[in-house]
Amino acid sequence: MPNIQDILARVTRDELIDIVSELVAIPSFKGEETPLALHVAAWCKARGYDVELDEVEPGRMQVIATLKGTGGGRSLMFNGHLDINSLTRGWERDPWTCWVEGDRLYGHGAQNMKGGLGTFMVAAEAVRRSGVPLAGDLVLAFVVGETQGGEGMHHLMERGFRTDMAVITEPFGADNIATIHSGIMHFAIHVIGRSGHLSQRENTVHAVNKMALVLQRLEHMSFTAAPYPPLPALPRLNVGSILGGRGEHYLSEPPYVPDMCTIVVDVHFVPGQSVESVLADVQRELDAIKAEDPDFVSSIEMPPPAFIKGRRRLVMEPVDVAQGADIVQSLANSYKIITGKPPAQIGAILPASYSACDTAWLCKAGISAVNYGPTAAFAAAGPEGAYVVISEMETVAKVLVLTAVDVCNSTQPSGSAQALG
């Protein structure tokens, strides 16, 4: 059996850059992930993994690749999503061709989360090429639709696919183990007006103007939720888009008063809240407008209507995994071996934990799952907001190598996880 340093030496900066660059070169917006899925399926199959192409919906594929164990150990899933965020404006270089500046690897999708995908691919390959025996299976899951609420992971869990533990390499930082995150839900609010020509405006109800009342109320509303100290800024609401016009949002007749206006709303919520309580709080604000304005007519639609591209039809629940869970302890111990110090943070990693990810579906299915991945940039427009930190990919990959060897060769009962509503 090779010693651990021999295994870790197989994690190299060059291989990380090469693999992530290959992933970035294949655009994979939500709903358009199949070309990238076929690429990673071929990559895994060529290296001897058992590969399944899992059809989430007609023509939309995700990949489950397994490095089979010898038997008797616990199974571990490395997980990440193939779908990427929409392309921002401001690019002066090809967003699909990676480049390196210092310790940063740039390219659209590198930040969320092809850097994380490449990191666990390199980690798994370091284990496989070393020949170190694993008793349990090591699974690589490349799922779709995470940015839509976890379409692919929900599908996988509904199929009954399970491992004992899981690590998602979302970019929470190589020094942090994220065991807590918020819930996310999306819905639409419709305001119905009464159309008519500008010359007869006195007999109309302007739906867009009425929606302005809604926006003002939502901007300042409060939720009936007890404070949740690990996520002090939540719950939080955002109106992400607005569409108004005549009939079915017909937008090309400005002489006519619009009789339809729709907004799409995102709420990030905390344990103790539910979908029902959030919607009741929002409905309270709509009822207050109605009490002051008899012409105000509104409705809430959840999930948002199908014509909203990239809508979230699924609700991701908040997650809080016990810090004593085996997967947390294994990652923490592996991190200490690699770096000589304990992780900087275990728990809620702010502000990243103000959002949600596919650990929601894993924990809901009873799989102890946490987030541990390399730091990446998110918010800025253009290429400066699309990089992953190379040295952190190296650290994370090495930690994952040790974690895989530890978990897959252990037969102890797995740690607990819970999805909180």
User: Cα separations (Å) of 319 from 182, 279, 350?
Assistant: 7, 20, 14
Q: For 309, phi and psi rounded to 5 degrees?
A: -65, 130
Of 108, 90, 88, 102, the C-alpha closest to 23 is: 108
As separate numbers, helices (DSSP H) first and strands (DSSP E) second, the chain gives 10, 16
356 by DSSP, 3-state: which? coil
Cα distance between residue 279 and residue 218, in whole Å = 12
Is the previous residue joined to 230 through a cis bond, with omega within 30 degrees of 0?
no
Residues of the chain scoring pLDDT < 50: 413-421
Please tell me the predicted confidence (pLDDT) of residue 417. 32
Task: Report the predicted TM-score, pTM, of the whole model to 2 decimal places.
Answer: 0.91
Beta strands (DSSP E) in 28-158 are 50-57, 60-67, 76-81, 99-101, 104-106, 138-143
- Domains annotated for the chain, with CATH where assigned, are 4-182+318-408 (3.40.630.10), 183-301 (3.30.70.360)
Cα distance between residue 235 and residue 295, in whole Å = 30
Structure tokens at 266: 């995102």
Structure tokens at 11: 């994690």
Please tell me the predicted confidence (pLDDT) of residue 4. 85
Q: List, in sequence order, the alpha helices (H) in 25-114.
A: 34-46
Cα distance between residue 303 and residue 164, in whole Å = 31
Residues 80 and 109 sit within 8 Å (Cβ to Cβ): no
Please tell me the predicted confidence (pLDDT) of residue 413. 47
Task: Tell me, letter by letter, the H, E, C secondary structure of 221-254.
Answer: CCCCCCCCCCCCCCCEEEEEEEEEEECCCECCCC
Cα distance between residue 131 and residue 133, in whole Å = 6
Cα distance between residue 183 and residue 12, in whole Å = 36
